[in-house]
């Protein structure tokens, strides 16, 4: 498997110029708060003092999970393909938000247990008809894992624009993400498992007990790719490849919630500078997401700072779409807001 090069993009001279530009806008120092940090980050990613986000691509990666047959979700597995059809028909939350914000929406069938008719907005890149049941063995083979990562890279290479917004759909994928979080960070599984699609307390307890068994079964899968193959899923593997390719191309990567964040976690293990290109859209209401953000922070004990905290736990890319206008505003502030000098406004009194 060929992984793209993802170099460090920190440029201290450009960062200084961007900061000076922000400081000289017609406002008190730091008065636009975290929007200023966002503007600086986007300028560094795009390597310019006048960043503009063009042709943004919201991609929803979808697949089924064999583990869903064990009751880890409040919904049956056929909801995966039904929701894919809903995305394409324009009726899902992410479809509505993508229309509102002029985001190109693509749905990728990475391994849904259903055969879709060809239609606009759908890419079929199946790795199989859903992963195997990870309570009985590995969710996928290492070859399938490699194929998924390569597929994600190819998908992004073929997309226009300089911004990628991540979304996903797959009944059972919260369980896969919880196990990956626990295995790759060392956090106790009980702190990583949440309600997902809406399990009650008893359902969460049953799921946690089952996932403990799966972790024990695959105790040897301790590095990123073996762990990804062990727990799944096809959509997460494909998303990992998409993140790596977008990072290599210096696209701005807008990360949705819990599942998208675990794809970034795996990608970061393979290429540490990936997270320099990532904007974390929101803090999910899923229990493990705070731990995920802590693991993905810019330095140890400094969590990644999401833009929104709305109690979301839908997935689909909905949080990424909701945060998108903030990225546009950050760019416009850098490009269009007047400086004290250009506006003829007096600066702060000495």
DSSP state of 282: B
Q: What is the pLDDT of residues 329-346, one digit of tens each?
A: 999 999 999 999 998 988
Residues 30, 142 within the same domain: no
Q: Which helix (H) or strand (E) holds 267?
A: helix 258-270
Residues 339, 321 within the same domain: no
- State which residues form the domain around 161: 57-325
pLDDT at 2 over 90: no
Residues 223, 337 within the same domain: no
The alpha carbon of 124 is separated from its chain's Cα centroid by a whole number of angstroms, namely: 20
- Assess contact for 312 and 285: CB atoms under 8 A: yes
Answer yes or no: is 87 within a domain: yes
Plot region of 90 (φ>0 → left; ψ -120 to 50 → alpha; else → beta): left
pLDDT at 195: 79
Q: What is the pLDDT of residues 59-102, one digit of tens each?
A: 999 999 999 999 899 889 999 999 999 999 999 999 999 999 99
Residues 158, 276 within the same domain: yes
Residues 201, 338 within the same domain: no
Taking the C-alpha atoms of residue 63 and residue 234, their distance in angstroms, rounded to an integer, is 6
Q: What is the pLDDT of residues 13-57, one digit of tens each?
A: 999 999 999 999 999 999 999 999 999 999 999 999 999 999 999
pTM passes above 0.85? yes
Residue 90 is part of a domain; what is its CATH number?
3.40.50.10210
Query: How many other β-carbons are positioned within 10 Å of the β-carbon of residue 185?
Result: 16
Answer yes or no: is 178 within a domain: yes
Q: State the pLDDT confidence band at 198, using cuts at 50, 70 and 90.
A: confident
Answer yes or no: is 183 within a domain: yes
Answer yes or no: is 6 within a domain: no
Cis, peptide link before residue 104, omega less than 30° from 0: no
Angle at 179 between CA 201 and CA 167, to 5 degrees: 90
Q: What is the pLDDT of residues 154-175, one digit of tens each?
A: 999 999 999 999 999 999 999 9
Answer yes or no: is 103 within a domain: yes
So which residues are the catalytic ones? Answer: 316
Angle at 120 between CA 117 and CA 125, to 5 degrees: 65
Residues 31, 163 within the same domain: no
Residues 42, 135 within the same domain: no
Residue 34 is part of a domain; what is its CATH number?
1.10.1610.10
Burial (CB count <10 Å: 0-12, 13-18, 19+), residue 72: buried
pLDDT at 348: 80
Residues 173, 47 within the same domain: no
pLDDT at 196 over 90: no
Taking the C-alpha atoms of residue 247 and residue 267, their distance in angstroms, rounded to an integer, is 10
Candidates 83, 23, 100; CA nearest to 315 is 83
- Quote the number of domains for the chain: 2
């Amino acid at each position: 498997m060929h992984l793209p090069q993802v170099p460090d993009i920190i440029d201290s001279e450009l960062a200084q110029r961007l900061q000076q530009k922000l400081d000289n806008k017609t406002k008190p120092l730091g008065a636009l708060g975290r929007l200023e940090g966002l503007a600086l980050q986007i300028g560094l990613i795009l390597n310019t003092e006048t960043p503009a986000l063009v042709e943004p691509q919201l991609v929803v990666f979808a697949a089924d999970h064999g583990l869903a047959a064990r009751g880890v979700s409040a919904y049956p597995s056929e909801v995966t393909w039904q929701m894919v059809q809903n995305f394409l028909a324009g009726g899902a939350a992410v479809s509505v938000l993508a229309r509102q914000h002029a985001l190109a929406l693509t749905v990728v069938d990475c391994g849904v247990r259903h055969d879709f008719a060809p239609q606009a907005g759908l890419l079929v890149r199946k790795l199989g008809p859903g992963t195997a049941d990870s309570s009985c063995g590995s969710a996928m083979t290492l070859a399938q894992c490699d194929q998924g990562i390569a597929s994600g890279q190819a998908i992004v290479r073929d997309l226009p624009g300089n911004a990628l917004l991540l979304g996903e759909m797959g009944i059972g994928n919260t369980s896969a993400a919880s196990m990956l979080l626990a295995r790759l960070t060392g956090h106790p599984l009980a702190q990583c498992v949440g309600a997902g699609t809406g399990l009650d307390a008893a359902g969460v307890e049953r799921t946690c007990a089952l996932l403990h068994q799966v972790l024990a079964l695959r105790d040897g899968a301790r590095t990123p790719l073996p762990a990804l193959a062990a727990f799944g899923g096809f959509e997460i593997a494909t998303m990992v490849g998409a993140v790596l390719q977008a990072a290599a191309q210096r696209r701005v990567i807008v990360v949705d919630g819990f599942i998208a964040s675990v794809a970034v976690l795996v990608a970061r293990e393979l290429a540490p500078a990936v997270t320099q290109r990532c904007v974390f859209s929101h803090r999910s209401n899923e229990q493990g997401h705070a731990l995920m953000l802590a693991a993905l922070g810019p330095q140890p004990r400094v969590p990644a700072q999401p833009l929104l905290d709305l109690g979301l736990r839908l997935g689909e890319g909905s949080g990424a779409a909701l945060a998108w206008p903030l990225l546009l505003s950050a760019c416009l502030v850098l490009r269009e807001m007047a400086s004290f000098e250009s506006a003829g406004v007096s600066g702060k009194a000495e």
